[in-house]
Chain A
Amino acid sequence: MQKPDTVYFFGTCLIDLLYPNAGLAGMQLIRSAGVKVIFPENQTCCGQPAFNSGYREEALQVARQLMTCFPGNIPIIVPSGSCGGMIKQHWPELFKDQSDYDEACSIAERTYELTQFLVETLDIQLTDLGQPVKIAIHTSCAARREMGVAEHIESLIGQLSQVETLEQERKPECCGFGGTFALKQADLSGAMVTDKTKAIRATGASKVISQDCGCLMNIGGALDKQKAGIESQHIAEFLWERSHATD
């Protein structure tokens, strides 16, 4: 894709409510590369929670409302592998046999995960202004498999000279979030996040970075509960902080 003049930013409901700084950092990164960012006022949610719980009718109505937020034929940037994956991979399925199927497909085609956009389209170059730090990376399953962008988080962090990435055991394994799975199968999810945090803690990293706030809510919440002293942060916020040091 050619570098566009303007993009839409879909912040996702989780970020809007819980991690707004991650969303803001994503928008700032794009803007600093000279692209105008539109944040549509009426955006809410892509419909994923209901879709993954089997409530497709409800998911459809919420997705349809989101659809109205992106009328222009410009890219839609999502700072989340799983919400991006929902739109890109599952909207066509969700809207199958609906009158607005074509529109849903057009939006799916225009949807890009944030790191994907930063690397593939903007070819963003970052200068690390931060202090030396050791981190671990959690590539979300949706970023890895639905969006195919697992390597982008690595390459972006690779640009930061003062950041050392420590490799954890079983890195591609799911952290056990899975949306409502974490509530419906709480103990199972708990066992999974316990294994994941154990692997992260064993690296000695002081931060864990991911492309998805769902994973971060899970992993970060568990690390906090364990008082592990490991901070969790979204990739956008991490990149923005380090490349645009607090002035």
Chain B
Amino acid sequence: MQQTESFKKRIDKALHNEQARINFRSGMSGLMTKRATQFNDDQELQNMRDHARAIRSYSLSHLPELLEQLEQKLVSNGIQVHWAENSKQANEIIYQILKKADAKTVVKGKSMVSEETGLNEYLEHKDIEILESDLGEFIIQLAKEMPSHIVMPAIHKNCKEVAELFKKHFPDLPYTENIEELTLMARNILRDKFVKADAGISGVNFAVAETGTLCLVENEGNGRMSTTTPNLHIAITGIEKVVARLSDVPPLFSILTKSALGQPITAYFNMISRPRPANEKDGPQHVHLVLLDNRRSQIRMDDELLDTLRCIRCGSCINHCPVYVQLGGHAYGTVYPGPIGSVLEPQRLGLDKIGALTSACTLCGACGEVCPVQIPLPKLINRLRAESVNSQRSEAQISGKGSLRKMLEANTWVLWKWIYANPGLYRVFRWAARRFRKLSPNRLGGWTQYRTAPVPAAKSLQQLAREEGFSNE
């Protein structure tokens, strides 16, 4: 139960961080409003979601064939493909590629999968300088923090905090809280790094099997910089990111940017299919793709949990989550926060490690409603709750099944079942509750810290119904 306690502590810390809560509230409100402007026709949105879902479902049902096709295409295009079962293997593959190329400094475009593997830390231990180039990622790297959001990694910080951070790390530069000036400072610092970097590392938004194409979505241009300027580019992605055809890309790309940022399109859509051809003058001469499993193939085993893998990482479930907006991303203690995090991370890391995340959900359904690929997130969270208290339920290969089962809680539900599955007992219970209503506790743990305690009514509905002449059959 240690994870439950430490999650509680992180929640407590988050709820007491007034500034961060203000930042999250304004950030999420902004993202929700912007998304809404992109979808003003409900039917059209539903059609788009159906289409995007079908594309992703096809990918998952044909995953082995598509991955082989992708590999074959990439290799014939000149891109080297590597497979990693877990984070350690992925990090090691990347390190070996860098070492072989004698690469000492690396610039990185935004990649959640590399956060998942802890790549930065791994490479830093090997004395490789690795620099995040997405502005948000750059900020949190300076602050030595984790992203608090998968699309807006530094959304927990306001400009004052960023200004302080820049002052600390770049004391020679003039202090400013002006966001435009701060951005320009980052531009100048990073431009120099792009010139000098030996290698670039990026994520992938979609990998197209038909043509062997890696698609990257971005606004800043750092992704293009990282994948074009150095002579070596290493892309890393989860095996689920493959799509069958080039024609699958426009609908996914469109619903991604609209859902994530409320933008009809991003400034750049970067499609990479080959290393630099012999007659061309720039672009990396060596391009690698690392395909990471990290338990995705396990998640795929279960016909319901499989839906988790449809995710295109837009973050709109996070933006609309009434719990996330209170807590922010760090409280989850995982790479992916919010609803998708509460579904993905316990499956990836084990219910015994982080299954408690599923408790931070009211099942309000806001996440499932906005998901562009219709992942039934509330249903999956609820399913994982069942898995975490009952070890024998399903064939799902999640580690730590039943690990959150507590004797007292389990017995309470058994007692509850006895009462509510047995109308005679229920009547006795109800009579007692009403009979002793004056004695009902007015302090009920956390409930009454924020609310008054509910008091049983003098008469039950059943009694009132009879008195008012309603029939019972």
Contacts and interface: CB of A to CB of B under 8 A. Distances in A.
B457 A39 contact: no
14 contacts: A17-B430, A27-B468, A43-B423, A49-B416, A52-B385, A53-B413, A65-B423, A172-B366, A176-B362, A187-B449, A188-B323, A188-B360, A189-B362, A192-B323
B422 interface: yes
A37 B470 contact: yes
A84 B403 CA distance: 31
B451 A28 contact: no
Given A55-B410, A145-B364, A187-B12, A225 B450 contact: yes
Contact of B420 (A51, A62, A182, A187): A62
A186 B449 contact: yes
Q: Which 9 A-B pairs have the closest CB atoms?
A: A186-B446, A178-B362, A221-B451, A54-B385, A174-B364, A190-B450, A145-B365, A141-B364, A20-B461
Given A20-B459, A188-B11, A218 B451 contact: yes
A71 B443 CA distance: 41
A47 B468 CA distance: 27
A39 B470 contact: yes
Chain B interface bracket (under 10, 10 to 19, 20 to 34, 35 or more): 35 or more
Interface in A161-177: 170, 172-174, 176-177
Contact of B365 (A28, A39, A49, A141): A141
B417 to A, nearest CB: 4
Contacts of B416: 49-50, 58, 62
A181 B470 contact: no
B473 interface: yes
B15 to A, nearest CB: 5
A56 interface: yes
Interface in A41-95: 41-45, 47, 49-58, 61-62, 64-65, 93
Nearest to B390: A54
A120 interface: no
Which of A11, A17, A40 neighbours the largest number of chain B CB atoms within 10 Å of its CB? Answer: A17
B448 to A, nearest CB: 8
B447 A41 contact: no
A15 interface: yes
Contacts of B386: 54-56
Q: Which of A23, A43, A174, A194 is the most central at the interface, judged by chain B CB atoms within 10 Å of its CB? A: A174
A218 B463 CA distance: 25
Given A21-B457, A36-B471, A61-B417, A181 B452 contact: no
Nearest to A64: B421
Interface string A115-159: 000000000000000000000000001101110000000000000
Contacts of B450: 186, 189-190, 193-194, 221-222, 225
B209 to A, nearest CB: 33
A188 B327 contact: yes
- Kindly name the residue among B327, B420, B447, B460 whose own CB sees the greatest number of chain A CB atoms within 10 A: B420
B417 A58 contact: yes
B73 to A, nearest CB: 40
Contacts of B447: 182-183, 186, 221
Contacts of B453: 221
Interface residues of A, number: 75
Given A16-B460, A174-B322, A52 B363 contact: yes
A187 B447 CA distance: 9
B364 A185 contact: no
A41 B456 CA distance: 19
B472 A38 contact: yes
Contacts of B61: none
Contacts of A183: 444-447
B362 A174 contact: yes
A173 B321 CA distance: 9
B357 to A, nearest CB: 11
A46 to B, nearest CB: 10
A1 interface: no
Find the residue from A21, A37, A50, A188 having the highest chain B CB count within 10 A. Answer: A188
Nearest to B470: A39
A160 interface: no
Contact of A15 (B369, B385, B461): B461
B1 interface: no
A177 B362 contact: yes
Contact of B468 (A28, A49, A142, A173): A28
Contacts of B407: none
A181 B362 contact: yes
A43 B430 CA distance: 12
